[in-house]
Amino acid sequence: MDVERVFHMKEGLGETSYAKNSSMQKKVLDMVKHLTMDAILDLYLTQTPQRISIADLGCSSGPNTLSVIREIVGAVDERCCEILQPTPEFQVFLNDLSTNDFNSIFLSLPEFYSKLRKEGRREDSLSVFIAGVPGSFYGRLFPSNSLHFIHSSFSLHWLSQVPLGLFGEDGKPINKGKMYISETSPCKVIDAYFMQFQEDFMLFLKSRSEELVSEGRMVLILLGRRSRDHTDRASAFYWDLLAEAFAGMVSLGEVEQDEVDSYNVHFYAPCMEEIKGIVQREGSFTIECLEIFEIGRNDTNGVRDGKSMAMAVRAIQESLIRHHFGERIIDRLFERYGEILDKELAKEEIKVASLIVVLRKSS
Ligand SMILES: C[S@@+](CC[C@H](N)C(=O)[O-])C[C@H]1O[C@@H](n2cnc3c(N)ncnc32)[C@H](O)[C@@H]1O
């Protein structure tokens, strides 16, 4: 499957949309906000450009992307007022794969500009110019030396493809019954995932290093592992339980075992040491900050934990599952998944780990 052509978060504003099921991501964005703001202010104060070019890579649809942009613009505006400097113009590029629901973001722009006007500290309004940029961030998206600041949240754990090494020379799947690294996966599965991540993340860094101005900054937030252990419960938990929901459907004859065996996610949760090693090997950036943040249950609006977690995973995975298995299993699968998650969460507290890395382009 060409994942970059199929993969997209659930569009629109409906009950199953990403817009309505991305509060966990928002919680983490709020937790790391001080680091994001430190990075943009540090960049602004050392370069004082008249126009700041910013890109949010993997912006998706829903409120998160514009909320980050509003905070960035607000922080720079506030600092400019304090130091009695004119606020720069902002050129903002929102990037995602071409299958993304860009229209929903564009439809919310009038509300974005109206909030910005209310929050602005000056008589004259802020100049923020927003454009959508479709395409994969595993490759060039912008002209050389054209960006000052790059933000990317919850996107870089998505690989450019399902690792080819998950299939043997005979084309048969080697990670049967599972869809990601699990305790029972052969070592080759771990190797295949890690190799794909290294290749993709290297390409990402190389592409961004060409696009950023000297000393430009990047704030990258992605799901990760707490330790080098690849079967770290927090990163494997969701996929293990989704595999369990599929196994139940196989036993009821609702899905074929072969279909499950050949389904793997194009996902990899790295640990801090892996990120550090790849950044150092690629060589274009210095690490200003590398931290891990953990959050507990996603109890959204009083909805049961399991159900809200299942909805969050559905908003992310539905396009791929629908493509591989067909439409008919979706509701039943995620109902089952929610029930399994509820049972497991009653037994153990699972904390989701996110990594934040702030990088400065070397001059
Ligand atoms: C979980 S969403 C994150 C959205 C938003 N940044 C947030 O924090 O809520 C991940 C997004 O990354 C996008 N994405 C994944 N791989 C990508 C790629 N290679 N190039 C551009 N966007 C990609 C997906 O399409 C999806 O919209």
Whether the CB of 300 sits within 6 Å of ligand 1: no
Quickly state the pLDDT bin for 363 (edges 50, 70, 90): confident
Chain position carrying tokens 């050389």? 144
Whether the CB of 155 sits within 6 Å of ligand 1: yes
Asked if residue 55 has pLDDT above 90, the reply is yes
pLDDT single digits (tens) 243-295: 999 999 999 999 999 999 999 999 999 999 999 999 999 999 999 999 999 98
Distance 21 CA to ligand 1 centre (A): 14
Distance 61 CA to ligand 1 centre (A): 9
Whether the CB of 312 sits within 6 Å of ligand 1: no
The rounded percent of the chain whose pLDDT value lies above 70 is 96
CA neighbor of 17 nearest in space, from 315, 300, 302:
315
Instruction: Give how many domains the chain has, as a whole number.
Output: 1
**pLDDT (0 to 100) of residue 121:** 65
Cα first-last separation, the chain: 40
Of all protein residues, the one whose alpha carbon is nearest to atom 24 of ligand 1 is 58
Of all protein residues, the one whose alpha carbon is nearest to atom 19 of ligand 1 is 136
Domain residues for 105?
3-361
Specify the pTM: 0.96
pLDDT single digits (tens) 162-214: 999 999 989 899 999 999 999 989 999 999 999 999 999 999 999 999 999 99
Asked if residue 303 has pLDDT above 70, the reply is no
Quickly state the pLDDT bin for 302 (edges 50, 70, 90): very low
- Judge whether 221 and 291 are in contact, CB under 8 Å: no
Whether the CB of 61 sits within 6 Å of ligand 1: no
Whether the CB of 136 sits within 6 Å of ligand 1: yes
Query: Which CATH number goes with the domain that contains 132?
Result: 3.40.50.150
- Judge whether 293 and 356 are in contact, CB under 8 Å: yes
Distance 84 CA to ligand 1 centre (A): 37
Q: What is the chain's mean pLDDT, rounded?
A: 93
Whether the CB of 17 sits within 6 Å of ligand 1: no
Of all protein residues, the one whose alpha carbon is nearest to atom 16 of ligand 1 is 158
